[in-house]
Amino acid sequence: MGLKDYKIAWFTEGGWQGKVSLDNPNMRNDVSTKYILGAEHYPIFNIPQVLQHFGENYFDFGIVTLPKHNTEHLLKFDLVGDLKKLCKKTISMQEGPHWLFQDYTMEQQIWWFNALTEFDMLFAHNLKDVSYYKGLTNKPVHKMPTLMLTERLGIQPRSEWSDAVIIGGNMVRWYGGFDSYIVAQEFDMPIVAPSMGRKIDREDEMDIQHLPYMTWVDWMNNLSQYHVGVHLMPTHAAGTFALNCAFHGIPCIGYVGLDTQEELHPHLTVYDGDMEQAKKYARELKEDEEFYEECSKTSREYYINSLYNEKNFVPYITRIFEGLHEDN
């Protein structure tokens, strides 16, 4: 069976309902995955109403992305119990770093752990997350590659670029923006950063050009102009910045533990907190044109052959769903 032969429901804290269309203005990785799977999206808090509407065993698969926040509201109904009635197989999709639940209240931590152990299967972002969830739950866990749709959306890899460096986030611990800023200064180029939701007061006073919010397609087209990327983000999840850079062949300095960084930028990956080595790589990229070209070429070639590319993602994810479907 192909993906389109399955009835798949995906539940998140998003307040919208329906399938993703290709003209969605914000076709980032999680939205792209829903599109490729042909999944029907519903708000997670509406699971009881969806069950009442469709009845039991309506969907072949039910995927749930447990929200990073507002977890207390999930304790008000039997989320996994209702999901198991509605869907023949249930799957949890990782949201944020795997340690995040340990910032919850004790009651919420126990609820979150018990919920995970009731799913038939778990999806995780990175190989280290796969290992973590296997050890935590003893459930089947598979990597969900961070999918990026490009050809369908008319996005082309860069052909020319300017002398500017882009960092991957704001000046907060979550993104590690200050560390990225310090390393980016090694290039003696203008520094640019996206405007994320965690921007802090007076950050605009830094010698950084902050980009306005833009759709994902506009972001990818804008990204193509930069010479190099730096993203020393200690919070490991989907790894979209390193992935986006690799599509354009933009060398990106980043941390171990993030699969998109390790797999697509192997010559520029450093251990968490190793600012000294990150600066050395920055200087080498600046001073050694041959090294720069090798890093650029490698990242682009590795992306083309990776699971983050649609042509490789689809057969990979199809095999996983087929295996779970046959496991009755």
> Could you report the per-residue pLDDT of 18-66, keeping only the tens digit for each?
999 999 988 999 999 999 999 999 999 999 999 999 999 999 999 999 9
56: containing domain: 3-147+308-326
| pLDDT band, residue 147 (cuts 50/70/90) | very high
312 and 300 share one domain: no
pTM of the full predicted structure? 0.95
Give whole-number Cα distances, 323 to 2, 6, 328, in Å: 12, 13, 10
Task: Report the distance separating Cα 144 and Cα 10, nearest Å.
Answer: 14
pLDDT in tens, 149-176: 998 888 988 877 889 999 998 888 888 8
Q: pLDDT tens digits, residue range 178-200?
A: 999 999 999 999 999 988 766 77
Q: How many residues are recorded in the chain?
A: 328
SS3 228: strand
Backbone angles phi, psi at 266, to 5 degrees: -65, -25
DSSP conformational letter for 6: S
pLDDT at 130: 98
Please state whether 148 falls in left (phi above 0), alpha (psi between -120 and 50) or beta: beta
Calpha distance 170→255 (Å, rounded) = 16
35 and 76 in contact (C-beta within 8 Å)? Answer: no
Q: How many CB atoms lie within 10 A of CB 43?
A: 15
Block residue for tokens 């009651």: 107
**pLDDT of 197:** 65
Looking at the fold, whether 101 and 191 belong to one and the same domain comes out as: no
Expressed in percent and rounded to 5, the helix, strand and coil fractions of the chain are 45, 15, 35
Report the 3 state secondary structure along 269-317: EECCCCHHHHHHHHHHHHHCHHHHHHHHHHHHHHHHCCCCEHHHHHHHH
Asked if 143 contacts 259 with a C-beta cutoff of 8 angstroms, the reply is yes
Confidence (pLDDT) at 96: 93
Q: Are residues 170 and 62 in the same domain?
A: no
Handedness of CA 232, 238, 244, 247 (dihedral sign): positive
pLDDT band for position 267 (50/70/90)? very high
3 state SS of 8? strand
Q: How far apart are CA 306 and CA 88, in angstroms?
A: 31
Token reading at 166: 């882009």
Mean pLDDT of the chain: 94
What is the mean predicted confidence (pLDDT) over 259-277? Answer: 98
Question: Does residue 41 share a domain with residue 186?
Answer: no
Tell me: do 198 and 298 sit in the same domain. Answer: yes
Give the CATH number of the domain where residue 71 resides. Answer: 3.40.50.2000
Give the sign of the dihedral formed by CA 33, CA 35, CA 40, CA 41.
positive
Local confidence band at 145 (pLDDT 50, 70, 90 cut-offs): very high
Min mean pLDDT across 69-78, 89-98, 122-131, 285-294 is at: 69-78
Characterize 210-223 residue by residue with b for buried, 16 or more Cβ atoms within 10 angstroms of its Cβ, and e for exposed. ebeeeebbebbbeb
State yes or no: pLDDT of 14 exceeds 90.
yes
Nearest CA to 86 out of 120, 56, 63 is that of 56
Give Rg (Cα) of the chain.
20
pLDDT of residue 151: 87
Is 298 in the same domain as 315? no
pLDDT for residue 153: 87
Give the span between the Cα atoms of 260 and 302, in whole angstroms.
Answer: 10
pLDDT band for position 225 (cuts 50, 70, 90): very high
In a shared domain, residues 170 and 300 = yes
At 328, is the pLDDT very low, low, confident or very high (cuts 50, 70, 90)?
low
Residue 179 shares a structural domain with residue 264:
yes
Q: Is residue 282 domain-shared with residue 193, that is, in the same domain?
A: yes
How many domains, in total, are found in the chain?
A: 2
- Both 156 and 300 in one domain: the answer is yes
DSSP 8-state secondary structure symbol assigned to residue 18:
B
- Looking at the fold, whether 157 and 291 belong to one and the same domain comes out as yes
Report the distance separating Cα 264 and Cα 304, nearest Å: 10
C-alpha neighbours within 13 Å on the C-beta side of residue 156: 3
Give the whole-angstrom CA distance, residue 99 versus residue 235. 10
Same domain, residue pair 318 and 239:
no
